[in-house]
Structure 1
Amino acid sequence: MKLYYCETPSPRKACAVARYLGLPIEYAFVDLTRGEQTRPDYLAINPNGKLPCLVDGERSIWEADAIMFHLALNAESELWPRSASQQVDVVRWLSWNSQHLLRHGGSLYFEYLVKPLFGLGEPDPSKVSEAQDSFRRFAGVLDQHLKGRKWLLGDDLSIADFSVAVMLPYAPRCAIPLDEFTEVRRWHDQLNAFDAWRNPFPARPAQAGANA
Protein backbone atom coordinates (compact mmCIF):
# COMPACT_ATOMS: atom_id res chain seq x y z
CA MET A 1 0.00 0.00 0.00
CA LYS A 2 1.14 3.52 -0.80
CA LEU A 3 -0.31 6.52 1.05
CA TYR A 4 -0.08 9.93 -0.57
CA TYR A 5 -0.28 12.65 2.05
CA CYS A 6 0.53 16.21 3.03
CA GLU A 7 0.85 17.58 6.55
CA THR A 8 -2.71 18.91 6.90
CA PRO A 9 -5.74 17.71 8.92
CA SER A 10 -7.38 15.15 6.61
CA PRO A 11 -4.14 13.28 5.82
CA ARG A 12 -3.29 13.52 9.51
CA LYS A 13 -6.06 11.13 10.55
CA ALA A 14 -5.22 8.63 7.81
CA CYS A 15 -1.53 8.69 8.75
CA ALA A 16 -2.38 8.41 12.46
CA VAL A 17 -4.48 5.28 11.91
CA ALA A 18 -1.81 3.75 9.68
CA ARG A 19 0.83 4.33 12.38
CA TYR A 20 -1.46 3.13 15.16
CA LEU A 21 -2.09 -0.12 13.30
CA GLY A 22 1.58 -0.57 12.42
CA LEU A 23 0.82 -1.40 8.80
CA PRO A 24 3.62 -1.74 6.20
CA ILE A 25 2.88 1.35 4.12
CA GLU A 26 4.98 3.35 1.71
CA TYR A 27 4.44 7.08 2.22
CA ALA A 28 4.60 9.66 -0.57
CA PHE A 29 4.65 13.33 0.42
CA VAL A 30 2.78 15.69 -1.94
CA ASP A 31 3.89 19.33 -1.67
CA LEU A 32 0.84 21.59 -1.94
CA THR A 33 2.97 24.74 -2.06
CA ARG A 34 4.45 23.48 -5.33
CA GLY A 35 1.11 22.38 -6.73
CA GLU A 36 2.17 18.73 -6.87
CA GLN A 37 -1.44 17.65 -6.28
CA THR A 38 -2.29 18.97 -9.76
CA ARG A 39 0.36 17.01 -11.62
CA PRO A 40 -0.98 14.54 -14.22
CA ASP A 41 0.59 11.54 -12.47
CA TYR A 42 -1.23 12.39 -9.22
CA LEU A 43 -4.52 13.27 -10.91
CA ALA A 44 -4.37 9.85 -12.55
CA ILE A 45 -4.89 8.26 -9.13
CA ASN A 46 -7.05 11.00 -7.60
CA PRO A 47 -8.78 13.22 -10.16
CA ASN A 48 -10.01 15.46 -7.32
CA GLY A 49 -6.45 16.67 -6.75
CA LYS A 50 -6.90 16.29 -2.98
CA LEU A 51 -5.06 14.52 -0.17
CA PRO A 52 -4.85 11.88 1.15
CA CYS A 53 -5.09 9.05 -1.32
CA LEU A 54 -4.27 5.38 -0.76
CA VAL A 55 -3.19 3.06 -3.56
CA ASP A 56 -3.61 -0.61 -2.69
CA GLY A 57 -2.77 -2.82 -5.62
CA GLU A 58 -5.00 -1.78 -8.52
CA ARG A 59 -7.33 0.15 -6.26
CA SER A 60 -7.13 3.88 -5.54
CA ILE A 61 -9.04 5.08 -2.47
CA TRP A 62 -9.78 8.77 -1.99
CA GLU A 63 -11.00 10.47 1.20
CA ALA A 64 -9.45 10.06 4.64
CA ASP A 65 -12.44 8.41 6.32
CA ALA A 66 -12.65 5.74 3.61
CA ILE A 67 -8.89 5.19 3.89
CA MET A 68 -9.14 4.71 7.67
CA PHE A 69 -11.95 2.19 7.14
CA HIS A 70 -9.88 0.32 4.54
CA LEU A 71 -6.81 0.23 6.79
CA ALA A 72 -8.82 -1.05 9.77
CA LEU A 73 -10.36 -3.79 7.64
CA ASN A 74 -6.96 -4.72 6.23
CA ALA A 75 -5.56 -5.09 9.73
CA GLU A 76 -8.70 -6.87 11.01
CA SER A 77 -8.72 -4.21 13.72
CA GLU A 78 -11.46 -3.39 16.19
CA LEU A 79 -11.09 0.23 15.08
CA TRP A 80 -13.85 -0.85 12.70
CA PRO A 81 -16.31 -2.55 15.07
CA ARG A 82 -17.92 -5.89 14.37
CA SER A 83 -21.44 -5.16 15.53
CA ALA A 84 -23.87 -3.56 13.09
CA SER A 85 -25.14 -1.07 15.66
CA GLN A 86 -21.62 0.19 16.37
CA GLN A 87 -20.87 0.37 12.66
CA VAL A 88 -23.89 2.64 12.27
CA ASP A 89 -22.57 4.78 15.13
CA VAL A 90 -19.18 5.11 13.43
CA VAL A 91 -20.78 6.24 10.17
CA ARG A 92 -23.01 8.65 12.08
CA TRP A 93 -20.02 10.32 13.75
CA LEU A 94 -18.03 10.45 10.51
CA SER A 95 -20.94 12.17 8.78
CA TRP A 96 -21.59 14.51 11.73
CA ASN A 97 -17.96 15.54 11.85
CA SER A 98 -17.70 16.28 8.13
CA GLN A 99 -20.78 18.51 8.26
CA HIS A 100 -20.17 20.24 11.58
CA LEU A 101 -17.07 20.10 13.80
CA LEU A 102 -14.51 19.61 11.02
CA ARG A 103 -16.21 22.22 8.88
CA HIS A 104 -16.00 24.98 11.49
CA GLY A 105 -12.62 23.94 12.88
CA GLY A 106 -11.41 23.88 9.29
CA SER A 107 -12.55 27.46 8.80
CA LEU A 108 -10.34 28.53 11.71
CA TYR A 109 -7.47 26.43 10.33
CA PHE A 110 -7.83 28.28 7.02
CA GLU A 111 -7.85 31.71 8.67
CA TYR A 112 -4.83 31.11 10.91
CA LEU A 113 -2.62 28.62 9.06
CA VAL A 114 -3.56 28.41 5.38
CA LYS A 115 -3.83 32.14 4.70
CA PRO A 116 -0.32 32.94 6.00
CA LEU A 117 1.16 29.98 4.12
CA PHE A 118 -0.19 31.19 0.78
CA GLY A 119 0.05 34.94 1.43
CA LEU A 120 -3.72 35.45 1.60
CA GLY A 121 -3.67 38.10 4.30
CA GLU A 122 -4.58 38.25 7.98
CA PRO A 123 -7.40 36.32 9.69
CA ASP A 124 -10.80 37.90 9.09
CA PRO A 125 -12.22 38.74 12.56
CA SER A 126 -15.84 38.30 11.47
CA LYS A 127 -15.17 34.89 9.94
CA VAL A 128 -13.16 33.84 12.98
CA SER A 129 -15.99 34.83 15.32
CA GLU A 130 -18.59 33.05 13.20
CA ALA A 131 -16.53 29.86 13.02
CA GLN A 132 -15.83 29.91 16.77
CA ASP A 133 -19.53 30.31 17.59
CA SER A 134 -20.45 27.41 15.31
CA PHE A 135 -17.62 25.26 16.68
CA ARG A 136 -18.84 25.93 20.21
CA ARG A 137 -22.35 24.82 19.31
CA PHE A 138 -21.28 21.43 18.03
CA ALA A 139 -18.45 20.93 20.52
CA GLY A 140 -21.16 21.29 23.16
CA VAL A 141 -23.03 18.37 21.59
CA LEU A 142 -19.84 16.31 21.61
CA ASP A 143 -19.07 17.31 25.20
CA GLN A 144 -22.45 16.08 26.41
CA HIS A 145 -22.13 12.82 24.48
CA LEU A 146 -18.73 12.06 26.01
CA LYS A 147 -19.94 12.28 29.61
CA GLY A 148 -19.62 8.80 31.07
CA ARG A 149 -17.91 7.48 27.94
CA LYS A 150 -14.20 6.85 27.41
CA TRP A 151 -14.47 7.00 23.61
CA LEU A 152 -17.20 7.96 21.17
CA LEU A 153 -18.57 4.42 21.12
CA GLY A 154 -18.13 3.91 24.86
CA ASP A 155 -15.26 1.68 25.93
CA ASP A 156 -14.01 0.94 22.42
CA LEU A 157 -11.64 3.12 20.40
CA SER A 158 -12.67 3.39 16.75
CA ILE A 159 -11.83 5.25 13.56
CA ALA A 160 -14.57 7.70 14.58
CA ASP A 161 -12.36 8.99 17.41
CA PHE A 162 -9.49 9.61 15.00
CA SER A 163 -11.78 11.39 12.58
CA VAL A 164 -13.79 13.60 14.94
CA ALA A 165 -10.72 14.76 16.90
CA VAL A 166 -8.63 15.70 13.87
CA MET A 167 -8.88 19.49 14.28
CA LEU A 168 -8.07 19.49 18.00
CA PRO A 169 -4.25 19.26 17.71
CA TYR A 170 -4.40 22.63 15.95
CA ALA A 171 -6.46 24.33 18.67
CA PRO A 172 -3.66 26.51 20.15
CA ARG A 173 -2.59 27.87 16.77
CA CYS A 174 -6.06 28.33 15.30
CA ALA A 175 -8.02 29.89 18.19
CA ILE A 176 -10.18 26.78 18.45
CA PRO A 177 -11.91 27.07 21.86
CA LEU A 178 -11.08 23.54 23.00
CA ASP A 179 -10.43 24.44 26.65
CA GLU A 180 -14.07 25.47 27.11
CA PHE A 181 -15.16 21.83 26.83
CA THR A 182 -13.93 19.64 29.69
CA GLU A 183 -15.03 16.28 28.30
CA VAL A 184 -13.75 16.98 24.81
CA ARG A 185 -10.38 18.01 26.23
CA ARG A 186 -10.23 14.89 28.43
CA TRP A 187 -11.06 12.71 25.43
CA HIS A 188 -8.40 14.39 23.31
CA ASP A 189 -5.84 13.99 26.09
CA GLN A 190 -6.46 10.23 25.89
CA LEU A 191 -5.71 10.28 22.16
CA ASN A 192 -2.54 12.23 22.89
CA ALA A 193 -1.32 9.24 24.89
CA PHE A 194 -0.77 7.51 21.52
CA ASP A 195 2.45 8.41 19.75
CA ALA A 196 0.63 7.72 16.47
CA TRP A 197 -1.72 10.60 17.26
CA ARG A 198 0.94 13.03 18.49
CA ASN A 199 3.34 12.29 15.63
CA PRO A 200 1.31 10.88 12.75
CA PHE A 201 3.46 11.98 9.83
CA PRO A 202 6.57 10.08 8.70
CA ALA A 203 9.84 11.98 8.92
CA ARG A 204 10.98 13.40 5.61
CA PRO A 205 14.69 13.66 4.76
CA ALA A 206 14.47 17.36 3.93
CA GLN A 207 12.37 18.21 6.97
CA ALA A 208 12.81 15.54 9.62
CA GLY A 209 10.23 15.74 12.35
CA ALA A 210 8.22 18.52 10.73
CA ASN A 211 4.48 18.52 11.42
CA ALA A 212 1.92 21.11 10.38
Structure 2
Amino acid sequence: MTDGSMVLHYAETLMPRKACFVARHLRSPVAFRPIDLGRGEHKGPAFKVLNPNGKVPVLVDGDLVLWESDAIMMHLALAAGSDLWPTAAREAVEAQRWLSWAAHEFNPQAGTLYFEHVIRPHFGLGDVDAAADATARKRTRAGLAVLERHLSGRTMLVGDRLTLADVAVAITFPYAAAAGIPLADYPAVANWNARLEALPFWLDPFPQAAAAH
Protein backbone atom coordinates (compact mmCIF):
# COMPACT_ATOMS: atom_id res chain seq x y z
CA MET A 1 0.00 0.00 0.00
CA THR A 2 1.11 3.53 -0.69
CA ASP A 3 1.71 6.03 2.09
CA GLY A 4 0.44 8.89 -0.11
CA SER A 5 3.90 10.15 -1.12
CA MET A 6 3.98 8.90 -4.70
CA VAL A 7 5.70 10.99 -7.37
CA LEU A 8 5.23 10.15 -11.04
CA HIS A 9 7.97 11.43 -13.36
CA TYR A 10 6.57 11.67 -16.87
CA ALA A 11 6.73 13.32 -20.27
CA GLU A 12 3.90 13.75 -22.75
CA THR A 13 4.90 10.69 -24.75
CA LEU A 14 3.58 7.18 -25.33
CA MET A 15 4.67 5.06 -22.35
CA PRO A 16 4.12 7.76 -19.71
CA ARG A 17 0.64 8.18 -21.16
CA LYS A 18 -0.29 4.75 -19.76
CA ALA A 19 0.88 5.57 -16.25
CA CYS A 20 -0.68 9.04 -16.22
CA PHE A 21 -4.03 7.73 -17.43
CA VAL A 22 -4.17 5.03 -14.77
CA ALA A 23 -3.11 7.44 -12.02
CA ARG A 24 -5.80 9.94 -12.98
CA HIS A 25 -8.44 7.27 -13.69
CA LEU A 26 -7.91 5.88 -10.18
CA ARG A 27 -7.46 9.33 -8.64
CA SER A 28 -4.29 7.99 -7.08
CA PRO A 29 -2.46 10.19 -4.54
CA VAL A 30 0.26 11.08 -7.04
CA ALA A 31 2.29 14.23 -7.53
CA PHE A 32 3.13 14.60 -11.22
CA ARG A 33 6.61 15.80 -12.13
CA PRO A 34 7.23 16.62 -15.82
CA ILE A 35 10.60 15.68 -17.31
CA ASP A 36 11.90 17.85 -20.16
CA LEU A 37 13.02 15.42 -22.87
CA GLY A 38 13.98 18.24 -25.22
CA ARG A 39 16.61 19.42 -22.73
CA GLY A 40 17.76 15.86 -22.05
CA GLU A 41 16.67 15.87 -18.42
CA HIS A 42 15.99 12.12 -18.62
CA LYS A 43 19.65 11.50 -19.48
CA GLY A 44 21.08 13.55 -16.61
CA PRO A 45 22.79 11.99 -13.60
CA ALA A 46 20.02 12.95 -11.15
CA PHE A 47 17.36 11.22 -13.19
CA LYS A 48 19.53 8.18 -13.89
CA VAL A 49 19.70 7.56 -10.16
CA LEU A 50 15.98 6.83 -10.46
CA ASN A 51 16.13 4.98 -13.78
CA PRO A 52 19.50 3.88 -15.13
CA ASN A 53 17.83 3.39 -18.53
CA GLY A 54 17.22 7.13 -18.77
CA LYS A 55 13.56 6.77 -19.70
CA VAL A 56 10.16 7.88 -18.44
CA PRO A 57 7.90 7.10 -16.68
CA VAL A 58 9.29 6.54 -13.19
CA LEU A 59 7.17 6.20 -10.06
CA VAL A 60 8.64 6.87 -6.63
CA ASP A 61 6.52 5.53 -3.77
CA GLY A 62 8.39 5.93 -0.50
CA ASP A 63 11.51 3.79 -0.80
CA LEU A 64 10.15 1.99 -3.88
CA VAL A 65 11.37 3.27 -7.25
CA LEU A 66 9.61 1.72 -10.24
CA TRP A 67 10.36 2.11 -13.91
CA GLU A 68 8.55 0.41 -16.83
CA SER A 69 5.04 1.65 -17.48
CA ASP A 70 3.29 -1.73 -17.12
CA ALA A 71 4.81 -2.27 -13.67
CA ILE A 72 3.80 1.26 -12.66
CA MET A 73 0.23 0.70 -13.85
CA MET A 74 0.04 -2.55 -11.89
CA HIS A 75 1.41 -0.93 -8.74
CA LEU A 76 -1.13 1.88 -8.95
CA ALA A 77 -3.99 -0.59 -9.48
CA LEU A 78 -2.91 -2.81 -6.59
CA ALA A 79 -2.36 0.16 -4.27
CA ALA A 80 -5.89 1.37 -5.04
CA GLY A 81 -7.44 -2.09 -4.67
CA SER A 82 -8.73 -1.66 -8.22
CA ASP A 83 -9.99 -4.36 -10.57
CA LEU A 84 -8.00 -2.74 -13.36
CA TRP A 85 -5.73 -5.64 -12.45
CA PRO A 86 -8.01 -8.70 -12.24
CA THR A 87 -8.16 -10.61 -8.98
CA ALA A 88 -9.30 -13.89 -10.57
CA ALA A 89 -6.28 -15.97 -11.57
CA ARG A 90 -7.54 -16.84 -15.05
CA GLU A 91 -8.36 -13.22 -15.88
CA ALA A 92 -5.02 -12.05 -14.49
CA VAL A 93 -3.20 -14.50 -16.75
CA GLU A 94 -5.29 -13.34 -19.70
CA ALA A 95 -4.50 -9.70 -18.91
CA GLN A 96 -0.79 -10.55 -18.71
CA ARG A 97 -1.01 -12.24 -22.11
CA TRP A 98 -2.28 -9.00 -23.67
CA LEU A 99 0.31 -6.90 -21.84
CA SER A 100 3.03 -9.17 -23.23
CA TRP A 101 1.53 -9.07 -26.73
CA ALA A 102 1.35 -5.29 -26.59
CA ALA A 103 4.97 -5.00 -25.45
CA HIS A 104 6.48 -7.49 -27.87
CA GLU A 105 4.17 -7.61 -30.89
CA PHE A 106 1.75 -4.74 -31.37
CA ASN A 107 3.19 -1.60 -29.81
CA PRO A 108 6.63 -1.90 -31.46
CA GLN A 109 4.77 -1.67 -34.79
CA ALA A 110 2.09 0.93 -33.99
CA GLY A 111 4.72 2.72 -31.89
CA THR A 112 6.95 3.02 -34.94
CA LEU A 113 4.14 4.83 -36.76
CA TYR A 114 3.78 7.07 -33.72
CA PHE A 115 7.52 7.77 -33.73
CA GLU A 116 7.71 8.47 -37.45
CA HIS A 117 4.68 10.75 -37.66
CA VAL A 118 4.40 12.29 -34.18
CA ILE A 119 7.78 12.24 -32.47
CA ARG A 120 9.97 12.99 -35.51
CA PRO A 121 8.20 16.24 -36.40
CA HIS A 122 7.76 17.27 -32.77
CA PHE A 123 11.47 17.02 -31.97
CA GLY A 124 12.73 17.96 -35.46
CA LEU A 125 14.29 14.56 -36.13
CA GLY A 126 14.10 14.71 -39.90
CA ASP A 127 11.93 13.08 -42.53
CA VAL A 128 9.86 9.94 -42.15
CA ASP A 129 11.83 6.74 -42.72
CA ALA A 130 9.75 5.36 -45.59
CA ALA A 131 10.97 1.79 -45.25
CA ALA A 132 10.35 1.68 -41.50
CA ASP A 133 6.95 3.26 -42.03
CA ALA A 134 5.90 0.72 -44.67
CA THR A 135 7.02 -2.26 -42.61
CA ALA A 136 5.36 -0.97 -39.46
CA ARG A 137 2.14 -0.19 -41.30
CA LYS A 138 1.90 -3.74 -42.65
CA ARG A 139 2.61 -5.29 -39.26
CA THR A 140 0.23 -2.92 -37.48
CA ARG A 141 -2.54 -4.08 -39.79
CA ALA A 142 -1.72 -7.68 -38.89
CA GLY A 143 -2.02 -6.79 -35.21
CA LEU A 144 -5.29 -4.94 -35.78
CA ALA A 145 -6.64 -8.06 -37.50
CA VAL A 146 -5.81 -10.09 -34.38
CA LEU A 147 -7.64 -7.55 -32.25
CA GLU A 148 -10.61 -7.47 -34.63
CA ARG A 149 -11.12 -11.23 -34.30
CA HIS A 150 -10.78 -11.14 -30.52
CA LEU A 151 -13.01 -8.10 -29.96
CA SER A 152 -15.88 -9.21 -32.20
CA GLY A 153 -18.75 -9.66 -29.77
CA ARG A 154 -16.72 -8.37 -26.82
CA THR A 155 -16.79 -5.14 -24.85
CA MET A 156 -13.18 -5.12 -23.64
CA LEU A 157 -10.14 -7.35 -24.07
CA VAL A 158 -10.62 -9.24 -20.79
CA GLY A 159 -14.18 -9.72 -19.62
CA ASP A 160 -16.62 -6.83 -19.87
CA ARG A 161 -14.75 -4.14 -17.94
CA LEU A 162 -11.67 -1.99 -18.41
CA THR A 163 -8.38 -3.60 -17.37
CA LEU A 164 -4.73 -2.73 -17.75
CA ALA A 165 -4.77 -4.93 -20.86
CA ASP A 166 -6.94 -2.40 -22.68
CA VAL A 167 -4.72 0.48 -21.60
CA ALA A 168 -1.53 -1.26 -22.73
CA VAL A 169 -2.80 -2.43 -26.11
CA ALA A 170 -4.68 0.72 -27.14
CA ILE A 171 -2.21 3.33 -25.94
CA THR A 172 -1.21 4.38 -29.47
CA PHE A 173 -4.82 4.90 -30.54
CA PRO A 174 -5.16 8.53 -29.34
CA TYR A 175 -2.51 9.26 -31.99
CA ALA A 176 -4.22 7.17 -34.70
CA ALA A 177 -5.14 10.08 -36.96
CA ALA A 178 -1.69 11.67 -36.82
CA ALA A 179 0.17 8.35 -37.10
CA GLY A 180 -2.05 6.83 -39.78
CA ILE A 181 -3.19 3.85 -37.71
CA PRO A 182 -6.20 2.61 -39.74
CA LEU A 183 -8.71 1.93 -36.96
CA ALA A 184 -11.71 2.61 -39.22
CA ASP A 185 -10.88 -0.48 -41.30
CA TYR A 186 -11.53 -2.69 -38.25
CA PRO A 187 -15.07 -2.10 -36.93
CA ALA A 188 -14.80 -4.04 -33.66
CA VAL A 189 -11.52 -2.28 -32.88
CA ALA A 190 -13.04 1.09 -33.76
CA ASN A 191 -16.01 0.43 -31.46
CA TRP A 192 -13.67 -0.58 -28.63
CA ASN A 193 -11.64 2.57 -29.21
CA ALA A 194 -14.83 4.65 -29.01
CA ARG A 195 -15.59 3.11 -25.61
CA LEU A 196 -12.10 4.02 -24.43
CA GLU A 197 -12.42 7.57 -25.75
CA ALA A 198 -15.58 8.00 -23.68
CA LEU A 199 -13.58 7.44 -20.47
CA PRO A 200 -12.51 10.53 -18.52
CA PHE A 201 -8.78 11.22 -18.97
CA TRP A 202 -8.28 8.78 -21.87
CA LEU A 203 -7.73 11.57 -24.35
CA ASP A 204 -6.19 14.02 -21.87
CA PRO A 205 -4.19 11.98 -19.33
CA PHE A 206 -1.42 14.50 -18.82
CA PRO A 207 -2.04 16.89 -15.91
CA GLN A 208 -0.52 19.94 -17.58
CA ALA A 209 -2.60 19.45 -20.71
CA ALA A 210 -5.75 19.07 -18.65
CA ALA A 211 -4.97 22.20 -16.63
CA ALA A 212 -4.62 24.21 -19.84
CA HIS A 213 -8.23 23.54 -20.93
Q: Shorter-chain TM-score: what band?
A: over 0.9
**CA–CA distance in structure 1, aligned partners of residues 124 and 178 of structure 2:** 17
Aligned residue for 1:200, secondary structure, equals coil
1:39-64: CA deviation from partner (whole Å, max 9, x where unpaired) = 11111111110010100000100111
**Which of 21, 26, 33 lines up with 2:31 in the alignment?**
26
Equivalent position to 1:209, from 196, 199, 212: 212
Name the amino acid aligned to 1:64: S
Once the two structures are aligned, what percentage of the paired residues are identical? 46
Match of 2:54 among 46, 49, 60: 49
Write out per-residue CA displacement over residues 114-140 of structure 1, whole angstroms, 9 at most, x where no aligned residue.
222333221122221111100000110
Asked if 1:196 corresponds to 2:201, the answer is yes
Structure 2 CA distance for aligned equivalents of residues 112 and 88 of structure 1: 34
Q: Note if 1:80 corresponds to 2:64.
A: no
After superposition, give the CA deviation of every residue in 1:144-171 in whole Å (9 maximum; x if it has no partner): 1001110001212111111110001101
Instruction: List structure 1 runs of 4+ shifted beyond 4 angstroms.
Output: none
* Root-mean-square deviation (Å): 1.4
Q: Report the secondary structure of 1:196's partner residue.
A: coil
- Map 1:173-184 → 2, pairs under 5 A: 173-184=178-189
SS of structure 2 residue aligned to 1:32: coil
Partner of 1:26, secondary structure, is strand
Which secondary structure state, in structure 2, belongs to the residue aligned with residue 33 of structure 1?
Answer: coil
Gaps (5+ residues) in structure 2?
A: 1-5
Q: Distance in 1 between matches of 2:134 and 2:182?
A: 11
- Partners of 1:177 and 1:127 in 2: how far apart? 17
Displacement of 1:81 after TM fit? 0.8
Using structure 1 for the length normalisation, give the TM-score: 0.94
* Equivalent runs, 1:39-118 vs 2, <5 Å: 39-118=44-123
- Residue 3 in 1 paired to residue 8 in 2? yes
- Render the CA deviation track for 1:20-51: whole Å, top value 9, x for unaligned: 10111100000100000011111111111001
Partner of 2:145: 140
Once the two structures are TM-superposed, the CA of residue 194 in structure 1 deviates from its matched residue by 1.1
Deviation at 1:107, TM superposition (A): 0.7
* Paired AA for residue 152 in structure 2: K
Q: Does 1:35 align with 2:40?
A: yes
Asked if 1:14 is matched to 2:41, the reply is no
Partner Cα distance (2:199, 2:18) in 1: 13
The size of the alignment, in residue pairs, is 208
| Cα distance in structure 2, aligned partners of 1:39 and 1:120 | 21
